[in-house]
Amino acid sequence: MSEEATATVIGVFMIFCRIGGCLMLLPGYSSLRIPAQIRLFIAFGLSLAVSPGLLPGITPLLLGAKDDVKLLMILTELLNGMTIGLLGRVFMIALQFAGNFVANAIGMGSALGVPIEESEPDPAVVTLITMTATVMIFSLNLHAEILKALIASYTAMPVALGFTARMALVAMTDKLDETFLLCLRIASPFVVYAVIVNFAIGLANKMTPQIPIYFISMPFTIAGGLILLGYSVGDFLSIFLANFQQWVLEG
């Protein structure tokens, strides 16, 4: 095989490393409910689709490069892709955190549902929220915008620059701070609800210790929490998806 053909094959593999590393962690694509073979073929197909436009900027870097340099470039491309995917994954982790808080606030923390993103079961409320958010991500065509963002990442994170650990850590900490504050803000009605309900139950239990107030009030607590969830879940998910869309479009 000629040097140009070898550089082309390695260049396609480097594109596959960035796209595959990103899809391995992105919400929706990384779900354990999707077989690994399908995820592999999706990443490989997308890599072949975008290769003609990206190879002219990658192939010259591989021509005449030593094997250790090529191996280092492959490793850095994999790390770059995983960094981008992890930034998107942080949104879903924060949403799961907010969903767990909501489930505990309305008394449904022990009602486990079918796991969607993880192997271990989550509360049914968490499954409902994360599944709805994932479906809306695909319904709003954000999965295609993510592919555009991956192509644009070769301008912000060129192959020649390699992997910048400092920039990745700064981006990760900023995104963690932003997403968790966002999810705590949109889950704030349930903070108020939990404080009021638990204060009322504790006060009633103190006044009538001979009656098991906690067990009697649990159905009413769950019913009130579900009513509050029904009224607020639309705004809850809309605000979350607006911020996720802003990250996808603006980086």
- Other beta carbons within 10 Å of 96: 21
| 88 neighbors 146 (Cβ within 8 angstroms) | yes
CA atoms of 173 and 107, how far apart (whole Å): 31
For 14-58, how does the pLDDT look when each residue is reduced to its tens digit (9 = 90+)? Answer: 888 888 888 888 877 777 777 778 888 888 888 888 888 888 888
Whether the pLDDT of residue 192 is over 70: the answer is: yes
Average pLDDT over residues 3-20: 84
Domain boundaries defined on the chain: 3-250
pLDDT by residue (tens digit) across 200-246?
A: 877 777 777 777 776 777 777 888 888 888 888 888 888 888 888 88
Mean pLDDT across the stretch 170-191?
85
For residue 251, give every residue at least 6 positions away whose Cβ sits within 8 Å of its Cβ, in sequence order, or none: 149, 152, 153, 156
pLDDT reported for residue 150: 82
Tell the residue number behind the tokens 């504050």, with chain if given.
Answer: 181
Question: Which of 68, 100, 86, 61 lies closest to 173, judged by CA?
Answer: 86
Give the mean model confidence (pLDDT) for residues 169-196: 85
Give residue 66's pLDDT: 80
| pLDDT at site 85 | 85
Percent of the chain with pLDDT over 90: 0
